[in-house]
Chains A and B, each alone.
Chain A
Amino acid sequence: MAVLPTVAGTTNPFFRWGYVRQDWSQIQGDLVQHVALSVLAVAIGAAISIPLAVLASRSRLVRVPVFGVASLLYIIPSLALFVFLIPYTGIGTYTTAEIALVGYTLLIMIWNTVAGLDAVPGDAREAATALGYSPSASLLRVDLPLALPFIFAGLRVAMATVIGLVTVTALIGLGGLGQQITYGFTIGYNTPIIVGLVLSVALAAVADLLLVGAERLLVPWSRRRRRRRRAGGAA
C-alpha cells in the first residue's frame, strides 16, 4: 500500500489525482484481481447452472430441490457465506471467495435459463422432432439457442451482481477493488474509496457491454425486428 499522500492544508480532499498516479500499480493489481474473481465466478456459475436448468425444466423432481438450494444460497448474506467457508477453505483464498460468489450466480442463472427453456415454442420442438433431431440434438440445436436471450439476461445480472459482491471479499483478505475501498476507510481518505467505486461501476458497465456484444454475435435473429428483415433458420 502507498504511503498516505498528504497535501498541505487539506487532510481529506474530495479527490486527489496524485494518489491515483502514486498508487497506480496497486490499483491495476486490484482491478486485475477483481476481473479474475468476477469472470471465474460467472463462468463456473454458468457451467453449473445451465445443465441444472435443463434438468430442472424437464423434471419437477429436480426443479424443487435445485431452486430450494439456489434460493437459500441467494438469501444468505454474502459476508456470512464467506465466513461459513473460512474454517474449511481458509481465509483470503480464491476457493472461499469463488464458492460463495458462484453460489450467488446460481439462482439468477438457473432462473433465467429455465424461463428461457420454458419459453421455447412447442412448434419449434415439434418441427425439430419431425426433422429427425434426436432429443439431445434438439436440446443443443433448437432449445438452448432459442433460450439464449434469457441465458444472456441471466449472465448480465449475474455479472453485475458478482462485480458488486467481489468488493465484500476485501473483508476476508481478497477484494479486488474492494481493497481500495477498505484502504480508504482505514486511513479516512476519500480518494481510494472513490477510485474503487468508480472503477467497479466502470467494470460493470464494460462487462455488460461485452455481454451484449457477445449476445449480438451469438443470437443474430434477436435483432430481426429492429432490422426489419426476416431471419433465416431457427426462429
Chain B
Amino acid sequence: MSFLAQVWDWLTSSANWSGSQGIPLLFWHQLTLSAAVVATAVVLGGGLGVVLGHTGRGGLVAVNAANAFRAVPTLALLTLLAVQPAISLTWNGFLAAWLALTALAIPPILTNTYVGMREVDADVRDAAKAMGLTGAQVLGRVEAPLAVPFVMAGIRTASIEVVATSTLAAYVSYTDLGTYVITGLNTGNTVLAFGGALLVAVLAAAVAGVLTLASRALTPRPLRERTRSLRSPRGLLGAGASGLPDVVPEH
C-alpha cells in the first residue's frame, strides 16, 4: 500500500474518530487552547494598544519592546515553562501552553491596535471633539471603528500563529492534534505524523479563511474598499500577509 493510502486509511479509520485520543477531542483541545490564548491576548494586547493609541504616549516604546520579544523562540518559552514543576502539570499542561502562546500572540495584536488607533486622521478626531464628543465617545465612536481593520489584521495574524504553534504545545505538555505529529515523530510512525500534520494544516487554513471573512464583515462598510486597495497584492485566503510587520522600511 502506498504511503498516502496508509495516511488516508489512518484518517478515515473510525477508531481514530472517538475516545480520549480521537481526532474530535484533540481538535477540540487545540481549538479551546487557541481561543483562550487569542482572547487573553486581545484583552491584554488590544487593551494596551487602545490605551496607548488613544493617549498617544509611550506607544512606540511598547510596540518596539513587543516586536523585540517576537525574537524569542516559542519552543524555548514552552519548554522553559514546562520544566517548572509548579506549572508543568497544571490543568493537564494547559497552563504552560496558555502562558507561552499568549506571549506569542500579544505583539501582533498590540502593534496593530496601536497603529490602527494612530492612523486615525487627526482632522477626524478634531471634528469629533468639535462636535462635542467626550474623550470616551471619541474613542468608542470614532477611533475604535476606524481602527477595526488594523485590529482584525492583528487578531488574524496572531490566531494563525497561535493555531500553528499550539501544535508545538503537544511536544511539552498539552494534548492536541500536534500529539499525533509528535508521537509519530518519536516512534518513527511517519503515517501518524503525516496524518496529524494534515489535520493541523487544514485547521490552520480554515482559521485563516474564517478570520479573513470575519474581518471583512466587521469592517465598517465605507472602509472596506479603501482597506482593500491599501493591501494591494492580495493572496489566496487573504493570508496573514496584511498583518506582516515592517512591510514598510523603517526610515
Interface pair B82/A185, CB less than 8 Å apart: yes
Cβ-based interface call for B220 (8 A):
no
Interface pair B185/A172, CB less than 8 Å apart: yes
Interface pair B167/A167, CB less than 8 Å apart: no
- Min distance, Cβ A175 to any Cβ of chain B, angstroms: 9
By a CB distance below 8 angstroms, the chain A residues around B245 are 157
Cβ-based interface call for A89 (8 A):
no
| Most B Cβ at <10 Å: residue of A79, A84, A197 | A79
Nearest chain B residue, comparing its CB with the CB of A118: B232
Nearest chain B residue, comparing its CB with the CB of A164: B73
- With A75-B208, A111-B233 in contact, is A190–B83 under 8 Å at CB? yes
Contact of B185 among A69, A74, A83, A160 (CB under 8 A): A83
Interface pair A72/B233, CB less than 8 Å apart: no
Fill in one digit per residue for A48-91: 1 if any B CB lies within 8 Å of its CB, else 0. 00000000100000010001111110111111110110110001
Cβ-based interface call for A22 (8 A):
no
Cβ-based interface call for B163 (8 A):
yes
- With A80-B200, A197-B73 in contact, is A72–B239 under 8 Å at CB? yes
| Most B Cβ at <10 Å: residue of A75, A91, A164 | A75
Interface pair A150/B249, CB less than 8 Å apart: yes
CA distance A223 to B237 in the complex (A): 37
- Min distance, Cβ A231 to any Cβ of chain B, angstroms: 13
By a CB distance below 8 angstroms, the chain B residues around A80 are 164, 167, 181, 196-198, 200-201, 204
Choose, from A2-10, A129-137, A200-208, the stretch at the interface: A200-208
By a CB distance below 8 angstroms, the chain A residues around B247 are 111-112, 115, 150, 153
By a CB distance below 8 angstroms, the chain A residues around B239 are 67, 71-72, 74-75, 107
CA distance A71 to B182 in the complex (A): 25
Interface residues on A, range: 35 or more
CA distance A91 to B197 in the complex (A): 15
- Min distance, Cβ A223 to any Cβ of chain B, angstroms: 8
CA distance A172 to B185 in the complex (A): 7
Fill in one digit per residue for B63-93: 1 if any A CB lies within 8 Å of its CB, else 0. 0000000111111110110110000000000
Nearest chain A residue, comparing its CB with the CB of B250: A153
Nearest chain A residue, comparing its CB with the CB of B199: A80
- Min distance, Cβ B52 to any Cβ of chain A, angstroms: 23
Q: A interface vs B, CB < 8 Å?
A: 12, 56, 63, 67-72, 74-81, 83-84, 86-87, 91, 107-108, 111-112, 114-115, 118, 149-150, 152-153, 156-157, 160, 163-164, 167-168, 170-172, 177-178, 181-182, 184-185, 188-190, 193-194, 196-197, 200-201, 204-205, 222-223, 225-226
Q: B interface vs A, CB < 8 Å?
A: 3, 70-77, 79-80, 82-83, 160, 163-165, 167-168, 171-172, 178, 181-182, 184-185, 190, 193-194, 196-198, 200-201, 204-205, 208, 232-241, 244-251
Q: List 6 A-B contacts (CB under 8 A).
A: A12-B83, A83-B184, A83-B194, A112-B247, A197-B73, A222-B249
